[in-house]
Amino acid sequence: MIIRPHTNWLRMLFVWNGSVLKTIVPQLLVILVISVVAVVTRGHIFGARVPLDTVPFPLMGVSLAIFLAFRNNAAYARYVEARQIWGRILIAARALTSQVVNYLPQDGDGFERKLFVQRLIAFVYALTHQLRKTDPAADLARYLPPEEARELSGMHYIPVALLDRLRLMLARAGRKRGDGEPLLWLLDAQVSELAAAVGGCERISGTPIPFAYGVLLHRTVYLYCFLLPFGLVADLGAATPLVCVFVAYTLLALEAIAQEIAEPFGTDPNCLALNAMTRNIERSLREQCGDPVPDALQPCDRYNIS
Summarize pLDDT for 224-256 with one digit per residue, the tens: 999 899 888 888 889 999 999 999 999 999 999
Residue 238 forms part of a structural domain: yes
Residue 146 forms part of a structural domain: no
Residue 16 forms part of a structural domain: yes
SS3 assignment, position 52: coil
- The total number of structural domains in the chain stands at 1
| Confidence check: pLDDT of 210 > 50 | yes
Residue 290 forms part of a structural domain: no
C-alpha angle 117/119/125, rounded to 5°?
Answer: 110
Residue 87 forms part of a structural domain: no
Q: Where are the beta strands (DSSP E) in 166-297?
A: none
C-alpha to C-alpha distance for 132 and 204, rounded to whole angstroms: 12
Quote the domain boundaries for residue 247.
1-79+208-271
* pLDDT average, residue stretch 280-292: 92
**What single letter denotes the amino acid at residue 106?**
Q
Q: What is the pTM of this model?
A: 0.86
pLDDT by residue (tens digit) across 7-29?
Answer: 676 777 777 777 888 889 999 99
Q: Phi and psi dihedrals of 88, rounded to 5?
A: -70, -35
Residue 45 forms part of a structural domain: yes
Q: What is the pLDDT of residue 1?
A: 57
Residue 100 forms part of a structural domain: no
Note the maximum CA span of the chain: 92
Residue 35 forms part of a structural domain: yes
